[in-house]
Amino acid sequence: MKTFEVILKYLGFAMALIYMVAGVTVLLQPGTLFNIPKPYVVPIGIALTGYGLFRSYRLYQKYFRQV
């Protein structure tokens, strides 16, 4: 595996983790870190967390799944 591919792999997993942490933060501590109106807190938190899970699943399939 080339160095550039390794960097992209770890960057992809870091971004997936950041999305999940941001989503959980929005859900558990609304208004603390992000100034989001109350009606949008749950949908945005779920969307961020879900997108982080989706990205990590896709990266898992790309790099670790044996075909």
Q: How far apart are CA 64 and CA 46, in angstroms?
A: 26
pLDDT higher than threshold 80 for residue 66: no
Domain, as residue range, for 15: 3-63
In the chain, the number of structural domains is: 1
Lowest model confidence (mean pLDDT) among 12-16, 24-28, 54-58, 60-64? 60-64
**pTM reported for the whole predicted model:** 0.85
DSSP string, the chain: --HHHHHHHHHHHHHHHHHHHHHHHHHHSTTTSS---HHHHHHHHHHHHHHHHHHHHHHHHHHT---
pLDDT higher than threshold 70 for residue 34: yes
pLDDT higher than threshold 90 for residue 14: yes
